[in-house]
Amino acid sequence: MKIINTERLIMRDFSITDAQGMMNYLSNPRVNCFLSGKLSTIEEACTEAERRSHDDTLIAVCLKDSNCLIGELMCMKEETDTCSIGWQFNKNYEGKGYAYESANALMQDLFLNQGARRLYAYVEDDNFKSQKLCEKLRMRKEGCFKEFISFTNNPDGTPKYENTFQYAILKHEWQEI
């Protein structure tokens, strides 16, 4: 991946030096869809950082002035012109606009430089912060998939199926605003 810079952030490939930063937010995932990525030890974080350094779908989001890892973006090309995007950030950096700044820069790069026509994001119905972010990014809510997927179990051990919203934006919609 090429490096994307904003006023305050650098978006780049992951490196082994990102292990501690990843540990800071992956040791306690706050959204069920990230439970499978939970890290318990720094050794696990080092292994995961190494794996991510070869994964083009995950993008490290770092503060420009310190290179401190504060979160990540996900971008998976579904078709030649359609991408699924997502994000996960360290809770200590919430409320500063970093998620919006980085996701908006990614969207701009995808639309203007990588030939994207359509971008979409899946957001669980209880993830209000990501829903607000999608709306701020001018994505429209396309629908709700009822009991779409299970990332965790109910107290009785049965799968807990979550309702999931799909948000999307087309390139021409993005350009019109």
Among 30-39, 69-78, 153-162, whose mean pLDDT is lowest? 30-39
**Sign of CA pseudo-dihedral 172, 58, 19, 65:** negative
The pTM of this model reads 0.89
Give Cα separations from 138 to 8, 42, 116, 124, 170 (angstroms). 21, 37, 16, 18, 10
pLDDT at position 1 over 70: no
Q: What is the pLDDT of residue 154?
A: 77
Phi, psi (5° rounding) for residue 121? -140, 140
Q: What is the pLDDT of residue 149?
A: 76
Q: What is the pLDDT of residue 161?
A: 84
pLDDT at position 74 over 50: yes
pLDDT at position 165 over 50: yes
Q: What is the pLDDT of residue 32?
A: 44
> In angstroms, rounded to a whole number, what is the distance separating the alpha carbons of residues 113 and 55?
20
Q: What is the pLDDT of residues 83-136, one digit of tens each?
A: 999 999 999 999 999 999 999 999 999 999 999 999 999 999 889 999 999 999
The three-state DSSP-derived secondary structure of the chain is: CCCEECCCEEEECCCHHHHHHHHHHHCCCCCHHHHHHCCCCHHHHHHHHHHHCCCCCEEEEEECCCCCEEEEEEEEEEECCEEEEEEEECHHHCCCCHHHHHHHHHHHHHHHHCCCCEEEEEEECCCHHHHHHHHHCCCEEEEEEEEEEEEEECCCCCEEEEEEEEEEEEHHHHHHC
- Please compute the mean of the pLDDT values over residues 61-68 and round it to a whole number: 96
Q: What is the pLDDT of residue 155?
A: 87
Q: What is the pLDDT of residue 148?
A: 79
List the structure tokens of 112. Answer: 């203007």
Q: CATH number of the domain at 4-176, out of 3.20.20.70, 3.40.50.700, 3.40.50.150, 3.40.630.30?
A: 3.40.630.30
- Please compute the mean of the pLDDT values over residues 150-171 and round it to a whole number: 86
Q: What is the pLDDT of residues 9-46, one digit of tens each?
A: 999 999 999 999 998 988 876 654 454 566 778 898 89
Q: What is the pLDDT of residue 151?
A: 66
